[in-house]
């Protein structure tokens, strides 16, 4: 799956382990790295949900169209589909939305 990032800062956090460690700590950096690798290895978001990889799930209400994956509790990796033909996603944020 193709991955895009909403901001340059978010891209650096997701790609570079050192940047993720600075922003969130070691445990969270490991989870971010693991989730990015999982996203790269699948063909579609539907596959992620079918196999419950990272507890991938669609969001509801005012976040309809967004999806979330678990990181270190209570944080989530939030993304949305960009292009259905090419199965591209855009990672929009890392946050605790609870």
Range 31-49 average pLDDT: 92
Residue 11: closest CA among 36, 30, 28, 31? 36
Check: CB of residue 80 under 8 Å from CB of residue 92: yes
pTM for this entry: 0.89
Q: What is the pLDDT of residues 84-98, one digit of tens each?
A: 777 899 999 999 987
Identify the domain containing residue 60 by its residue range.
2-95
How many independent structural domains does the chain possess?
1
Q: What is the pLDDT of residues 10-28, one digit of tens each?
A: 999 999 999 999 999 999 9
Q: Using CA atoms, how far apart are residues 68 and 24, in angstroms rounded to an integer?
A: 18
Q: Using CA atoms, how far apart are residues 98 and 3, in angstroms rounded to an integer?
A: 25
CATH number for the domain harbouring residue 71: 3.30.2310.20
Which residue stretches of the chain are H helix?
A: 8-15, 17-24, 26-41, 45-50
- Confidence band of 1 (pLDDT split at 50, 70, 90): confident
């Amino acid at each position: 799956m193709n991955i895009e990032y909403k901001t340059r800062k978010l891209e650096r956090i997701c790609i570079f382990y050192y940047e993720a460690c600075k922003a969130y700590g070691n445990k969270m950096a490991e989870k971010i790295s693991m989730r990015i690798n999982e996203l790269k290895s699948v063909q579609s978001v539907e596959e992620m949900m079918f196999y419950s990889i990272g507890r991938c799930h669609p969001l509801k209400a005012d976040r309809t169209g967004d999806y979330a994956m678990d990181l270190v509790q209570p944080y989530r990796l939030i993304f949305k589909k960009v292009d259905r033909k090419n199965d591209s996603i855009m990672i929009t944020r890392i946050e605790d939305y609870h």
